[in-house]
């Protein structure tokens, strides 16, 4: 996978000069050891229908320099949603919907900028809107989930650094947000130190797991927003979680590094946390105007089957604006395409209402 970081083979437009399909596959075929779409436990509830027409015109896009097309406005990843959005059997339920509560999900992908934080915040908010009690744990020293949920570093005393490094109680660290049912365990830049300070610590991989055990009775979903690395902080998240949710950006090199993430998940599963499973893959920043988005989506679905959510998250500027207002998209612009997509995703991931 030495060629992964190279831009050779890509034209100036960013579109690879080789057929994209084979280029994109490069990231996957190296992963022959990766588990193909796994055998999943029986699913209780069927997922929500693809959003189809209801999602087509909710938002006047402010980010589009080209005119809106019908394709662009849909949340699903194809102009003909049934072909691509549905799993191969057409009606196969998404793998993890209906997993028993409480569910602890690590939102992980060591690539930066793929939508981990956006998904943690907005899926969390949408699940809370459905009536689930949701805790978002910010494990990224950048603290973007914290500020994105309107929590100002000056207004809290304890952060995840204190929980991991000073054995402070997670319950004391948890802050309410302006959304009912939605809570956040904040992070500050101090957490950057934990990556190194944890190295000599006793039970260093299990600190988060132990902390979550003390509050889990209070929540239906715990979403752990991981940093863009596979260090000890992410290992803590993987050791604490039942499931991994992997956001994959619908861009070239989308699959780069995924095999490494898989290896780490398998390592943690075999050494620390046998129940860990990559249950959910979310395609993010889908742009219906580009063929590449479709190609990546198809490639990911071919490889991961029904782990890939039918709902894809569109690229929309409203989603990138919301954090600076300290609000999830469901509050910032409730009728926008991004809000609709994350609401539909919440239904799909949870299997319904609480």
Binding site for Mg ion (CB under 5 A): 116-117, 140, 144
DSSP 111-156: STTSSHHHHHHHHHHHHHHTT--EEEEE--TT-HHHHHTT--GGG-
User: Residue 115 binds which entry of ligand ADP, Mg ion, none, with Cβ cut-offs from 5 to 8 Å by kind?
Assistant: ligand ADP
Which partner in Mg ion, ligand ADP, none is near 209 (CB below 5 to 8 A by kind)? none
- Partner that binds at residue 320, options ligand ADP, Mg ion, none, CB closer than 5 to 8 Å by kind: ligand ADP
| Edge-to-edge strand list for the sheet holding 221-225 | 175-176, 182-185, 134-138, 221-225, 103-107, 243-249, 277-284
Give kind and range of the element (H or E) at residue 225.
strand 221-225
Closest CA to 216 of 295, 70, 104, 298: 104
Question: Which one of Mg ion, ligand ADP, none interacts with residue 27, CB within 5 to 8 A by kind?
Answer: none
Q: Residues with Cβ < 8 Å from 137, sequence gap 6 or more?
A: 160, 184, 185, 208, 212, 222, 223, 224, 225, 237
Helix crossing, 258-271 with 232-240: angle to 10°?
60
- Comparison of 23 and 144: residue with beta carbon closer to ligand ADP: 144
Nearest CB to ligand ADP, comparing residues 99 and 316: 316
Angle (nearest 5°) at CA 254 between 249 and 138: 50
- Output 116 or 209, the one with its CB closest to ligand ADP: 116
Q: Taking the complex as a whole, how short is the minimal distance between the CB of residue 118 and ligand ADP, in angstroms?
A: 3
Closest CB 97 distance from ligand ADP, rounded Å = 21
Shortest distance in whole angstroms from residue 229 CB to ligand ADP? 11
Cα-based angle 294, 257, 159 (whole degrees, multiple of 5)? 105
316 binds, among Mg ion, ligand ADP, none (CB under 5 to 8 A by kind): ligand ADP
Picked from ligand ADP, Mg ion, none, the partner binding residue 284 (CB below 5 to 8 A depending on kind) is ligand ADP
Largest CA distance in the chain: 57
Question: Under the criterion CB under 6 A, does residue 319 sit at the interface with ligand ADP?
Answer: yes
CA–CA gap between residue 284 and residue 281 (Å, rounded): 9
Nearer to Mg ion, 86 or 121 (CB): 121
Q: Smallest distance from the beta carbon of 44 to ligand ADP, in angstroms? A: 29
# chain residues binding ligand ADP, by CB under 6 A: 17
The smaller minimum CB distance to ligand ADP, of residues 75 and 215, is found at 75
Which residues here bind ligand ADP, judged by CB under 6 A?
112-118, 144, 228, 284-285, 313, 315-316, 319-320, 323
């Amino acid at each position: 996978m030495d060629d992964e970081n190279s831009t050779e083979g890509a034209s100036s437009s960013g579109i690879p000069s080789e057929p994209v399909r084979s280029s994109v596959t490069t990231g996957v075929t190296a992963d022959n050891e990766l588990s193909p779409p796994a055998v999943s436990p029986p699913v209780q509830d069927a997922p929500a229908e693809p959003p189809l027409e209801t999602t087509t015109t909710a938002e006047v896009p402010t980010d589009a320099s080209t005119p809106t097309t019908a394709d662009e406005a849909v949340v699903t990843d194809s102009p003909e949603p049934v072909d691509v959005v549905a799993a191969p059997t057409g009606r196969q339920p998404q793998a993890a919907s209906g997993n028993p509560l409480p569910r602890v999900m690590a939102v992980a992908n060591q690539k930066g900028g793929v939508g981990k934080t956006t998904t943690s915040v907005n899926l969390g908010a949408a699940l809370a809107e459905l009536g689930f009690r949701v805790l978002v744990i910010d494990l990224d020293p950048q603290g973007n989930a914290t500020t994105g949920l309107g929590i100002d570093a000056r207004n809290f005393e304890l952060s995840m650094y204190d929980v991991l490094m000073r054995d402070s109680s997670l319950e004391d660290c948890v802050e309410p947000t302006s959304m009912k049912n939605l809570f956040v365990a904040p992070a500050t830049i101090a957490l950057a130190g934990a990556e190194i300070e944890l190295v000599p610590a006793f039970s260093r991989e299990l600190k988060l797991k132990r902390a979550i055990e003390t509050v889990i009775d209070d929540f239906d979903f715990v979403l752990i927003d991981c940093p863009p690395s596979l260090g000890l902080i992410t290992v803590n998240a993987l050791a604490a979680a039942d499931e991994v949710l992997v956001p994959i950006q619908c861009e070239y090199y989308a699959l780069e590094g995924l095999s490494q993430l898989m290896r780490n998940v398998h390592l943690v599963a075999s050494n620390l946390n046998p129940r860990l499973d990559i249950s959910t893959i979310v395609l993010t920043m889908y742009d219906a105007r580009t063929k590449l988005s479709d190609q990546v989506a198809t490639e990911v679905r071919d490889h991961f089957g029904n782990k890939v959510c039918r709902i894809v998250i569109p690229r929309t500027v409203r989603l990138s604006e919301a954090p600076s207002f300290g609000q999830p998209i469901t509050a910032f612009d409730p009728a926008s395409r991004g809000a609709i997509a994350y609401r539909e995703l919440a239904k799909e991931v949870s299997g319904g209402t609480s």
